[in-house]
Every structure is written in C-alpha cells, then in structure tokens.
Chains A and B, each alone.
Chain A
Amino acid sequence: MDSFVEQLKRGTEEEFTEESAWDGSVVNTTSSSLPTVYLPLLPRYLWHPTTRGRKATEFQETKKACLNYIQDALLQHQWQRAAEFMTNYLETLESTSAEKRMAAPEVIWRIGTEILCHHPKSSIEEFNYFAERMKNLGVKRYLKVCLEHVFHLLCNGLIDDAYQNLSLAEGWRYGEQTVAQDKELKLIQAYKGLLDYYNWAKKRKAMLELDGNFADSVEQEMHSFFRQAAVNLKEIIKIPGVWDPFVKCYVDLLEFYEDYDEVRQVLSEYAYNSKFPPNPNAHVYYYQFLKRQGESKKTLKSVLKILHEIVPSHELMLEYNAMLQKSKKRKNHRLGLEIIFTLLDFAGWKEHVKAWSCLAKQIKQILENSSKHLDWVTEEWNSRKDWWPAFHFSHYLAKRNWQENESLACEKALVAGILLGKGNFKSSSLLPGIEILASSSFNGRGRV
C-alpha cells in the first residue's frame, strides 16, 4: 500500500493524458468491461459492443465460485476446507440447467476421490461408500468408476475386495451402454484375469506346501482359477496394445500346464504382429521363452537380431555378441564387432567393464589374427573417431575411472591405446609397444 501512495505522489501523468483524449462531450460508455472498438467510419453508437446471451443465474455463478475455492484448497492441500466447500458444490447435481446437471457427476467424482484419498480422517470405508454412490450416479460412467475404484483398492493392498468388485463389474450389462463402454469392460476383464492369476499362484504355492487330502481341493480351485484367468488374458492380448504384465502372467500359466505351442503362438504374435505397437519387451519375452525351450542358436540369434534393430543398447546385446563370437562364420564376427561398438555408443554403457573388455578382446583378436580384418575396425572407428575421444577418453574421465574402477580403466586404456595410437594400426608386432604407450598415457600407473 505504501508503494501505491508513492506512485501517486510522484505524479502519474498517464491517466490524465488519457482523460484529456476524450472530447468533453457525451461519453456513452457501457458499464461493461469490454473495450471500445474504434472504427472511424462506423457510427458512434456501434462502437461499444454489448453482451448478448442468457445471463447465468446466481446459482450457477456461486457454484462456479465454489468450484474455484475447491480447486484452490486442493492445490494447497487444505483437505478440510475442500470438503467443506464440496458439501455446497454437491448441489450442482440438482441444477436446473440440464447440461450442468450432466457435467456435474464427473467433476464431483474426481474431486471427491481426490479429497477422500488425501484427507487425514478419511478411511477406506469412506472411499468405498463414496465409490458406490458414484456408481449409482450415472450409467455412462459406471464401468470407469468401477475400474478406478478397483485400482484404488489394489493400491491399498485390498486384493480380495478388488476381486469382488471386478467380478461384479464384469457381469454388468446395460443394453447399448455395454457396447459404448466396451473398452472399460475389456480392461475390467483383463484385470480380473490378472487377479485370477494371482489367486492361482497363491493356490499353487499352497498346494506345494500342503500334501495329502487337502491338496486335491486346492488343486481343483487352482485349475478353476487357471481357466478363468486364461480366458480373460487370452482375450486381452489379442487387442493391439502393450500388455506386458498380462503377457507374462499368461505365459507363466501356460508354461505350468505345458502348453508350449500356445505360448509360442502368443509370444510371436505379440512380438511380430505389426498391428501391435513396437515393444522391445515383447522380443525379450519371446527370446527368453525360446531359450528356456532350448531352441537352436540360429533361432535365438534371429530373434535378437530384430531386437538389435529396435534397441541397439539393450542389455541382451552382450549375450548376442557372445553368441556371435562363438560361431564360426566370419560375418557373425563382423556383426558382433558392430554390435559391441554400437553398444558403447550409448551413455548407459560407458562404465560397463564387461562391454569394454569384450571390445578389447575382440580388437586384440583381430589384430593378432594377422590383421586380416583390420578394415573392420577401421570402418567402425571412422564414424566414431571425431566424438569417441571426448566421449570416452577424456582426461577427466580417465582420472575418475582410475579413482573409482581400476579394471574399467585398464580395459579402456587398452582400447584407447589401440584406437588412438599414432599412425594406422600396423602389424601385431607393434602391439606390445602400443600397450606400453597406452599405459604411459595414464601417468604410467596402468598395467596391462
């Protein structure tokens, strides 16, 4: 307030100049805050627009203000205050305006859940009560509310309640609404499948611990859970999308019952069907399954090749590289080199000792084998020689590596020595010299 006074004292000329711009005659200003439109050719009385349209009733205006208060309170985490205004805002459910009345349940549902999630005095019973009310508020939202309710229960560890709710929701039918809410229904079925799997797993564990008479009934239950889970999970995996947890559970189920063909089919669909969004995990799952099944190296390598194209920095690339090195074919070795170089292009692998040691070994092998394939190394190095030195072999990194991880430093030093060494890579006879050179470039502390 003082600054305002100061401002005025200094003499604000601006407002006076604006006033003098008016000619002293009739100022037909409207009392609304709309700006005037100065169009000199237009008659004067058309300069001032007026608002048209239905005036909002005070009921609607006060409810809007109420909503603002609620939002402020939520942002400031004042849950009690929010709850207080919520009691008043609930009246919008009975608003005379049909559109407001139809928009109200969604707002109330969202705000209500927010308050009940965070309010210190609220409990899970309160939440359940509220969720039940919300389900009754409108059919269009029924399944969505159910789903969110189930999520909340799951987050709070109430798996059985969640399961009950899911079962109820799964059986819900309401004429054409069922079709309109198809997506939610599918999700509900999927999660039910997931929980069925969870129950199945519990039963399985119980069965292993039990023995004798009880094992039979438990086994029956286990099988029924399996059937239910299998149906739902199979359905959901058919829909294009990312269903990783569901796929894993489904595969686990099928493997227990040794239905490997189904697994193979499901996983290859999941990984290779172009309708599905690209998902590296799909390939990983497929690869892991094939490995478990003891498939030939050839198939494994082909799966990993596709993975390499999608995610060159995947951790399975090391394994892939190892597989390629073991093979006899020359092109596999070439591919392996390419893979390991690409791997080290990524920042996540910078400090990975194994990767560096692989690279070092491979380069050493190439140099030792009569440098026949030196051009491979040159080729790979060419695209990298402008930025690898700064990326991997900087002075600062070198010092840090020595301090933190000596083995890493050693491997890197070896590679650095070879790649950065003066002149082109000559015959292997230069190799020992290069090693000494490399070690000396690190203050002579390295040993190879």
Chain B
Amino acid sequence: MEEEDTRDYSEPCVQCSVVNWGLTDEGRFYCKSCHNVIERTKEVLTSDVVPNTKIQSISRGFRKRKKIDKGWEWYVCEGFQYILKKQAEALQTLGVCPQMKDEILCNFWRRYLQKSKQAYCTTPASYTSKALSMSDISTDVDSEPERISIHGLSSFSESDGDLQTESSFGHVSSIGNASARETTSICSGSVDGGSYLLKRKKGNLRMSMPMTLSFCYIALLWLREPVTLSDLLRFVIDGHIPYLNAFQYFPEEMKLYGVDLKIFRVESWPVYEDVHNKMSELAAFLDLPCFPAITDSCFLHPNILCIKYLMEANLPDELHNWTCRVVKKINVGETDFLTLDPVNKSARKVKYDVLAAAIIIVVLKLLFLLDDQYEWLNANFAGKRNQKNKEGCLWFDFKKWYKIMKKSVDVEQKKLDEERARCLWKCEKPLFYSAKEKSVVLKKRQMVVNLQRQFGALSGSMQVAEKQSPSSFQLNWAEENTDGNCFHGHILEGVLQEKGNSLTTMNTKYWLCTVKLCNEKICGHLTHYKESDFPQSYQFVLNLFSFLLRVPASLIHEEVCLIEHKLFKTKLHRK
C-alpha cells in the first residue's frame, strides 16, 4: 500500500539523491536509504487532481469524493491471470486433466510474465504514468477509433442530450501541459492500462483476449489432450469457456474502466488463424523446448482425427484406409512433422484439424474426382445396383449422401446463424470510459434490462434452452437408424478395382486445385480461394468441412493445395 502512495512522487532525496520513498506511521514521507523525513505527507497525493491547476496547498478537511471508487490497484496481467484461471477451470469441467491448470498453464503463464518482465524478475518495467500522446494509443489498437475530444467535457451537437460519445478518453488534462511533476493519469482502472497499449518493444509479446486462448491451446497441446483448436474455439463461441465478458469474474474491487475496456472488452469472436499464429509466436517467445511427441496413437495424429471427421461427415469407414495411405505417402504422419518445435522457426506449424479435413477431401477427389460429372455418374450406377441388391452391403452412393448431408448441414447452419444472431454480448457489469459516462451507461443498462424483460415475456415459452452439454461431435449418424441415413457401413465397391494385390481407384484422372503456390510473405497465404473457379461438388465438400470446423473454406483449401503439391511433387517438378 505504501508503494501506491509514494509511487507518484519522484523527487530525489535531498540528502542522498535516490528516489526511494516510504511512509512513516504518521503518514510523512521518508527516504528509505538515508531515513530523511520530509515535510510531504500522504494527504497531498490523495486529493483530487483538478485539471489545469497546481496544487496550492495541502487540503485537510472535507475531501471531495471521487466519483469512481478507486478500488484496488491492479495490473493488466493480473486481470489476464484471473481470466486464464477461469478458462482453465472451465476446461477442467469439460474433462481436461487437472494437471493442465495447476502445472502446465500456470508455469507457462509465469514464464510469460518473466519473459515480458512483468513479474518474477529483478527489474520490473516501470509504470510511470507519463502524459501519453493520444495518437500512440489509438494507432496501436485495431478496434474502432473513437472521436477523441481533448476538452472532453462538451457534448457534441449531434449527440443526444444525455449521452456523450466516447469522447472523454480519460481526463486528459495533461495534454499540452505535460510535466513530469504533475500527477496525471489516463483514466483506467488498472495501473498500467494506458501504457499497456503503447507500441510494444521489439520482441515483447503483448497479452490480449485471443492470446488467452492461445495460452490454453498451448497447454492442451503440451498435454496432448484430445481437443483440437477448432473444438476449443467452438466451445468458446458456444459459451462453455469464458471469453466474452470474462472480466465479470474479476473480484469486486478490481474496477474496470477507461482504457481497460480496449484490452478486455470483446467485440468479435476469435479467428482460428489469428489464434494459431499467436500460439506459434507465443511458443517461440517463451523459449519452450520441443513439445511432447505426437505419435500414431495420439488423438491429434491425422489417422485418428480422420476417423473422427469421417464419422462426423457420414462417410464410409473404408475411406480410412485411403486416408492412411495418403498420410503415409506425403509423410505427414511423421512425429517430427507433427510435433511442435518452437526452436525450429522455419518449420510450418501444423493445423491438425485442418490437415485431417484436407486429407479426407483429397481422398474424395482421388476416388470420386469431384468434377461435377464423374461422381454423379458413379452415383447413378451405385444407386441402380443398390436397388437390385437390397440385402448385402450397400455401395456408397454419392448422390444420396449429398442429398442427406446437404439437408442436415443446411438445417444446422440455419440454426447456427440464428444462434449467432441471438447471442447476447453485454453482461450485467457495465463498462464505461469515465465517471461522466458511468451514470449514462448504468441508466442505459437498466433500460435495456427492463425492455428485455418486457419483450422476453412476449416471446412466450421460447426460453433459452439451457446450453446442451458440449460434445466433440456435432453431427451424429447412428447405424441403428432404419431410415438408411448412415453411410458408415457402405462400401466403396463401385470406385475401386483390383490391381495385382492391392486395390486402386477406377478413376485415373485428377485435377489440381492450383498449379503454383503463392509466396506466403507477399500474399499472406499460399493460395487464394475463389469459389467460382471450382466445381460445385468440391465447393460442397469444402463447405461441409468448413462448417464442421468453423473455419473459413479458404483455409481448408490452402491445406488441400499443399497436400496435393506434396502428393504430386514428382509430376509437378517434371514440368
């Protein structure tokens, strides 16, 4: 506590010229190195900062209460710590082993604090609340820039009479007459909120909300838990893992306002690629050694993941042989390839789920060509054959599969879209930038709650069905169903032929998604996906997996192109 009160005073001691102040019992300042007591007392510092005036005298007596209770002093990383803790607990309830929270994640977090010099080190970064120029803060943040008013007391003419825009970006009285002596503060609940958003020093990794998920994922990866990144993000969006409004778990005394909002408020769902990239950056930043190896029996191995996705996509089990063959041929099943090694910077970081989905798509292309002709002709053939032989194994009929899958995916997609539209983004704990806004925000909140109650009553009994318990599988196809919707047991008779000892495809053609890959550094991606360039069947299959994984189709397409290039490497290079 004493540190808070003395932090702002940075005058060197008269006797020993060191800035190291403490407080005596009476509340007077004394120099810790030479025990020189000075006249200054605590009271001066805790009086309100009145903009543009100098503090003339020590005011005792009636002190004007600040409109916002200061509460505790807290640092931004403490906030993130709370959030991470909650997320780990949520994962634990989902079935992840308890080791993750207490050992792995904890240690990673401590290591992060150490590396970024926020704690556990000898010289923590200083948080002098210097006057900061507004442009620094606004350029670095990628959320929407507010209209900043330096004299943030007048309301704009076009705004409503009783609401201000986010103009009062802190009581920035210090702009223009900044001086190191004057104590100013960017309005924020946390101590270092303002400086946190400044352009980071090279090599330093700044924490953000999506980063918390990167942390979780890295911990899960270390433990080789059977949760892929797409599963994790799906749980987040479905609300099983705290992310949106995670700050409501902060204790009461940790007040959140001002610049903290930019850090902790979430306006968009995390994007797969974003989290994945941050994860690799994080792994490198933390100087982690090579991760535990991912072997054949590990969930994240393509062979195993392919089984899962084949089941979810309602495809025949026989396809698994083919996925294993492809995996072997392009060597993506190697431990070295799959395991994350932060030391090896040039190695491509593997997206396990996307890889598995892409392999399945390549196999489908190998067997069915997916050029909008071959698969339908084949389907007709299989359909006719199935008609004739009702008993015995059914041949896989692409057309029937397409119909069933399209219908169910459309239904699910529609449900998903409605769920997204129904999502409530705001929570009970109100957020405001400054004291002036607080009453307005609270009033609005109250009004919204009232109106929601009124319309909620009118919605009738469509009350929110409690979130179903999360499951790894989104679509379930049961063999026992007599309506013949399940294709797991179907055989690939129509597309395969014997050749010597092994089976090979009847289809002898193949079309490449792209002949040449782009330069990742220039384009950002290796390929670009334009729907109209590709056959409808391919688009459908891509969209199916894009729905299952909740990633954009272009990401899976990129992986498919990569696999094809590896598979047909010799043919391509001969060109």
Contacts and interface: CB of A to CB of B under 8 A. Distances in A.
A25 interface: yes
Nearest to B530: A29
Contact of A57 (B144, B161, B426, B529): B144
A57 B372 contact: no
Interface in A91-118: 91, 93-94, 96-98, 101-102, 108, 112, 115-116
Interface string A70-100: 0000000001110111111011011011100
A93 B267 contact: no
Contacts of B402: 1
Contacts of B269: 58
Interface in A5-51: 5, 8-9, 11-12, 15, 18-19, 24-31, 33
Interface stretch (A136-144, A237-245, A280-288, A437-445): A136-144
A182 interface: no
Given A94-B445, A98-B159, A9 B528 contact: no
A300 interface: no
Nearest to B145: A54
B421 A90 contact: no
B554 interface: yes
A224 interface: no
Contact of B448 (A94, A97, A140): A94
B448 A9 contact: no
Interface stretch (B22-30, B225-233, B512-520): B512-520
Given A9-B377, A137-B447, A139-B160, A121 B458 contact: yes
B423 interface: yes
Contact of A26 (B376, B380, B455, B518): B518
A66 B421 contact: yes
Nearest to A175: B161
Interface string B140-159: 00011011000000000011
B161 A9 contact: no
B529 to A, nearest CB: 5
A124 interface: no
B523 A28 contact: yes
A57 B533 contact: no
Interface size class on chain B is 35 or more
Contacts of B380: 9
A198 interface: no
A240 to B, nearest CB: 30
A24 B511 CA distance: 12
Given A80-B460, A93-B444, A130-B451, A5 B424 contact: no
Given A25-B516, A65-B417, A139 B162 contact: yes
B454 interface: yes
B372 A97 contact: no
A129 interface: yes
B527 to A, nearest CB: 9
A1 B406 contact: yes
Given A12-B372, A133-B447, A139-B162, A57 B143 contact: yes
Contacts of A33: 531
B450 A133 contact: yes
A385 B530 CA distance: 71
A31 B518 CA distance: 13
Contact of A8 (B376, B418, B452, B458): B376
B165 interface: yes
Interface in B132-146: 143-144, 146
A187 B386 CA distance: 76
A208 B268 CA distance: 71
B526 to A, nearest CB: 12
B456 A58 contact: no
A85 B373 contact: no
A59 B245 CA distance: 13
B454 A65 contact: no
A84 B459 contact: yes
Nearest to B166: A98
Contacts of A164: none
Contacts of A24: 515
A299 interface: no
A65 B143 contact: no
Query: Which residue among A9, A87, A93 has the maximum number of chain B CB atoms within 10 Å of its CB?
Result: A87
A68 B414 CA distance: 13
Given A62-B420, A129-B454, A174-B161, A96 B518 contact: no
B535 interface: yes
A151 interface: no
B448 A93 contact: yes
A97 B403 contact: no
Interface of A: 1, 4-5, 8-9, 11-12, 15, 18-19, 24-31, 33, 54, 57-60, 62, 65-66, 68-69, 79-81, 83-88, 90-91, 93-94, 96-98, 101-102, 108, 112, 115-116, 119, 121-122, 126, 129-130, 133, 136-140, 174, 177
26 contacts: A1-B406, A19-B533, A24-B515, A27-B528, A27-B530, A31-B528, A58-B269, A62-B421, A65-B421, A66-B421, A83-B458, A83-B459, A87-B459, A94-B444, A96-B143, A96-B265, A98-B165, A98-B166, A102-B163, A115-B458, A116-B458, A119-B458, A133-B450, A137-B447, A138-B160, A177-B161
Interface of B: 143-144, 146-147, 158-163, 165-166, 265, 267-269, 372-373, 376-377, 380, 399, 402-403, 406, 417-418, 420-426, 441, 444-445, 447-448, 450-452, 454-460, 462, 514-516, 518, 523, 528-533, 535-536, 552, 554
Given A84-B459, A97-B144, 17 more contacts: A25-B516, A26-B516, A27-B514, A28-B528, A30-B530, A31-B552, A33-B531, A66-B421, A84-B462, A90-B448, A94-B444, A96-B166, A96-B265, A98-B166, A112-B451, A116-B458, A121-B460
